[in-house]
């Protein structure tokens, strides 16, 4: 494989800071870097403003404008973190996000108002939010490369010095040489068809790991969203007022909708009806979260009076926890390489629970700002950057090979009986099969230096990232020999107080999990 820096690039740019990914984390990172005086380029796989998990959804964020609300949030986060949350991280996230939510208002974002007419900053309408950020990026002079997935970082273990990628339309190769790089490519939902997650294939995790970065919180990824079987919207809110039944109409008992579904889906279809919501709650749900109802309305279903078939759609690290380990400035440990948002581990903010429902969106704002500012400072303080290319494998597979590789990973991660509730023996089998999938990618033909088929190259890299991410999840889940939060093990059902600490995973051909002294 020729090194990216040796490959001719039709688009060749230089920047102080290169941001990969233009969801909220990448947009905030780019804005913070530009605020600090850096020349910034931002490249996204899709179109900045409409791609990523937030752009497709309404997201709750944690707004803690006063001391009383803040105290409640702190208490709740610490209570729900299963011993892994760090109070200092929560405080820093709340501080940073509070100021940035005020900025959004000052820039013209129309926050909702409560019944008393007061501004309510606790939800963000995805499309409006991301379009506003796009306008701010233009205003700040950030150069945006839409539909331009990054495929590999430029640099080596001595540091990151830019990235190399392709333009989806026309297939032009681009290269951006930069003083520092921010990975904000989101989480990985393994192509489960959950809305907004199609392009979230763990690319940034793979690129960073190729330069030696480590990950943490990967075992806290047993995360699924509930949706109609024929729909992709995985908003879970309404199911708190649902009754669940099986094909015969028998009522399925239980407190937690996810556990009810995980227990009964392997036996056959499960149906939901939102029959426990009062008229006022129904009205509030429809008004506050119209996107939940869109697919049901299209299918002609009244969810309050009719039962409809539901499934659990895997969300992996998008609403889960795991990602690149970072320090409080967003630095990965590889010089010049920073990470933010779902691409970074949220363990110190959410512990072993899902980051959905507020924490992840708030983290995207705060961690984006930290990483952008730190990347700008790093770039300003360095002259010479490494010129080498990474040891990036660019596997080229045909359609059948790509489909087979993806199915192999999905078969290990999607079934609730394998991944919602895990088991040591089954995971050891999965380790072997996923390892074989990885080795097949390693053996696949390599992309030539010229005449590249950009789409095929991207799909090969995405499959490599998906496979690597599944292997890190597997390695971490095997090493955590207990149940804690959304890491549930049938063979180790109890929570072990001695394991109330973080696990790091690293490595590509031989992923290894190691216990950290400190939670990061
Ligand atoms: C249905 C749903 C509902 C949610 N609701 C909430 C909620 O209410 N509250 C909450 O806190 N969180 C919620 N979340 C999670 C929240 O959406 C994410 O935490 C948030 O979007 C993370 O922002 P991000 O910028 O890190 O990633 P994303 O918004 O996913 O953006 C990542 C970007 O990186 C780009 N990218 C990927 N690969 C590459 C590449 N190789 N090169 C260049 N660009 C690339 C993608 O195109 C994408 O634009 C929800 C998630 C889902 C799926």
Express each pLDDT in 109-119 by its tens digit.
999 888 888 99
What span, in angstroms and rounded, lies between the C-alpha atoms of 344 and 368? 10
What span, in angstroms and rounded, lies between the C-alpha atoms of 1 and 34? 34
Q: In the predicted model, what is the mean pLDDT of residues 283-301?
A: 89
Residue 265 DSSP code = G
Tokens representing residue 176 in the block: 């951006």
Residue to mutate (ligand 1; options 149, 186, 355, 358; most atoms within 8 A of CB): 186
- pLDDT for 389 equals 59
Report the pocket of ligand 1 as residue ranges, CB < 6 Å: 20-26, 43-46, 51-54, 57, 59-60, 149-150, 184-186, 194-197, 199-200, 203, 225, 234-235, 315, 318-319, 341-343, 356-361, 364
- pLDDT for 5 equals 45
**How sure is the predictor about 386, in pLDDT bands with cuts at 50, 70 and 90?**
low
pLDDT at 4 over 50: no
- For residues 280 and 2, the model is more confident at 280
Q: State pLDDT tens for residues 503-516.
A: 999 999 999 999 87
Burial annotation 76-86 (CB, 10 A radius, 16+ → b, else e): ebeeebbebbb
pLDDT at 390 over 70: no
β-partners of residue 182 are 19, 338
pLDDT at 161 over 60: yes
- pTM equals 0.95
Q: What is the number of alpha carbons within 13 Å of residue 245 lying toward its C-beta? A: 12
Ligand 1 atom 1 nearest Cα: 234
- pLDDT for 194 equals 93
Q: Are 363 and 345 in contact (CB under 8 A)?
A: no
Q: State pLDDT tens for residues 123-160.
A: 999 999 999 999 999 999 999 999 999 999 998 767 99
Alpha-carbon torsion angle 190, 193, 196, 201, nearest 10: 20
- For residues 394 and 196, the model is more confident at 196
Distance 343 CA to ligand 1 centre (A): 9
Residue to mutate (ligand 1; options 195, 359, 360; most atoms within 8 A of CB): 360
Distance 332 CA to ligand 1 centre (A): 19
- pLDDT for 264 equals 97
Residue to mutate (ligand 1; options 129, 148, 361, 372; most atoms within 8 A of CB): 361
β-partners of residue 245 are 251, 271
pLDDT at 183 over 60: yes
Tokens representing residue 113 in the block: 């108002």
**How sure is the predictor about 394, in pLDDT bands with cuts at 50, 70 and 90?**
confident
What span, in angstroms and rounded, lies between the C-alpha atoms of 104 and 61? 13
Distance 520 CA to ligand 1 centre (A): 21
**How sure is the predictor about 1, in pLDDT bands with cuts at 50, 70 and 90?**
very low
Q: In the predicted model, what is the mean pLDDT of residues 174-191?
A: 96
Q: Which of 81-95, 241-255, 391-405 has the lowest mean pLDDT?
A: 391-405
Q: Where are the beta strands (DSSP E) in 119-209?
A: 119-120, 123-125, 143-145, 150-156, 159-166, 173-183
Q: State pLDDT tens for residues 319-371.
A: 999 999 999 999 999 999 999 999 999 999 999 999 888 999 999 999 999 99
Q: Where are the beta strands (DSSP E) in 146-246?
A: 150-156, 159-166, 173-183, 215-216, 224-228, 243-246
pLDDT at 410 over 70: yes
The Cβ of residue 327 has, within 10 Å, a number of other Cβ atoms equal to 12
Distance 259 CA to ligand 1 centre (A): 25
pLDDT at 275 over 70: yes
Pairing verdict, β 119-120 and 337-339: unpaired
Q: State pLDDT tens for residues 148-158.
A: 999 999 987 67
**Which is the closest atom of ligand 1 to the Cα of 123?**
8
Residue to mutate (ligand 1; options 18, 51, 52, 217; most atoms within 8 A of CB): 52
What span, in angstroms and rounded, lies between the C-alpha atoms of 101 and 107? 10
Helices 87-106 and 359-380, packing angle to 10 deg: 90
SS3 426: helix
Distance 169 CA to ligand 1 centre (A): 23
Q: State pLDDT tens for residues 466-506.
A: 999 999 999 999 999 999 999 999 999 999 999 999 999 99
- pLDDT for 449 equals 54
Distance 126 CA to ligand 1 centre (A): 10
3-class DSSP string for 23-57 = CHHHHHHHHHHHHCCCCEEEECCCCCCCCCCCCCC
Give residue for tokens 């941001």: 19
Distance 130 CA to ligand 1 centre (A): 11
Q: What is the number of alpha carbons within 13 Å of residue 321 lying toward its C-beta? A: 31
- pLDDT for 520 equals 41
Q: Are 132 and 108 in contact (CB under 8 A)?
A: yes
Distance 471 CA to ligand 1 centre (A): 21
Tokens representing residue 174 in the block: 């681009």
Distance 237 CA to ligand 1 centre (A): 18
- pLDDT for 291 equals 84
Length of the chain: 520
pLDDT at 448 over 80: no
Burial of 113 (0-12, 13-18, 19+ CB in 10 A): exposed
Q: Where are the beta strands (DSSP E) in 377-469?
A: 395-396, 445-446
What span, in angstroms and rounded, lies between the C-alpha atoms of 318 and 421? 18
Q: State pLDDT tens for residues 249-269.
A: 999 999 999 999 999 999 999
Q: In the predicted model, what is the mean pLDDT of residues 36-49?
A: 98
Task: Return mean pLDDT, the chain.
Answer: 92
pLDDT at 428 over 60: yes
């Amino acid at each position: 494989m020729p090194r990216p820096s040796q490959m001719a690039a039709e688009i060749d740019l230089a920047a102080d800071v290169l941001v990969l990914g233009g969801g909220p984390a990448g947009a905030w990172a780019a804005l913070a870097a530009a605020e600090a005086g850096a020349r910034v380029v931002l490249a996204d796989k899709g179109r900045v403003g409409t791609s990523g998990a937030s752009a497709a959804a309404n997201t709750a964020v944690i707004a803690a404008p006063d001391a009383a609300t803040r105290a409640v949030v702190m208490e709740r986060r610490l209570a729900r973190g299963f011993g892994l949350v760090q109070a200092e991280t929560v405080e820093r996230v709340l501080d940073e996000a509070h100021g940035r939510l005020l900025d959004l208002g000052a820039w013209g974002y129309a926050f909702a108002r409560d019944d008393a007419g007061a501004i309510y900053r606790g939800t963000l309408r995805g499309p409006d939010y991301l379009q506003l950020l796009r306008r701010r990026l233009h205003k700040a002079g950030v150069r945006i490369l839409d539909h331009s997935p990054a495929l590999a970082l430029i640099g080596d273990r001595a540091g990151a010095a830019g990235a190399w990628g392709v333009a989806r339309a026309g297939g032009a190769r681009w290269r951006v040489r930069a003083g520092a790089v921010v990975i904000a490519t989101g989480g990985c939902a393994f192509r489960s068809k959950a809305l907004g997650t199609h392009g979230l294939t763990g690319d940034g995790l793979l690129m960073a790991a190729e330069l030696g970065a480590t990950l943490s919180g990967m075992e806290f990824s047993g995360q699924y969203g509930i949706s109609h079987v024929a729909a992709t919207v995985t908003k879970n809110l309404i199911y708190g007022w649902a009754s669940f039944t099986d094909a015969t109409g028998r009522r399925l008992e239980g407190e937690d909708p996810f556990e009810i579904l995980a227990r009964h889906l392997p036996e056959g279809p499960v149906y939901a009806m939102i029959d426990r919501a009062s008229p006022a709650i129904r009205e509030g749900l429809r008004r506050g979260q119209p996107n939940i109802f869109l697919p049901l309305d299209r299918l002609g279903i009244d969810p309050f009076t009719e039962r409809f078939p539901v499934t659990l759609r895997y969300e992996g690290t998008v609403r889960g926890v795991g990602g690149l380990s970072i320090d409080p400035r967003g630095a990965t440990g590889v010089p010049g390489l920073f990470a933010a948002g779902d691409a970074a581990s949220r363990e110190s903010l959410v512990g072993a629970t899902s980051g959905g429902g507020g924490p992840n969106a708030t983290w995207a704002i705060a961690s984006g700002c930290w990483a952008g500012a730190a990347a700008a400072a790093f770039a300003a303080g360095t002259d010479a950057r490494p010129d080498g290319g990474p040891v990036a494998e660019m596997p080229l597979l045909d359609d059948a090979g790509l489909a087979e590789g993806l199915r192999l990973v999905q078969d290990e991660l999607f079934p609730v009986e394998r991944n919602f509730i895990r088991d040591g023996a089954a995971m050891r089998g999965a380790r072997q099969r996923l390892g074989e999938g990885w080795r097949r990618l390693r053996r696949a033909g390599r992309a030539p230096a010229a005449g590249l088929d950009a789409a095929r190259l991207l799909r090969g890299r995405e499959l490599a990232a998906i496979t690597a991410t599944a292997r890190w999840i597997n390695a971490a889940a095997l090493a955590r020999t207990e149940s804690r939060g959304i890491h549930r093990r049938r063979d180790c059902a109890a929570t072990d107080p001695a394991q109330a600490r973080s696990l790091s995973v690293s490595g590509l051909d031989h992923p290894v999990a190691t216990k950290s002294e400190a939670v990061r």
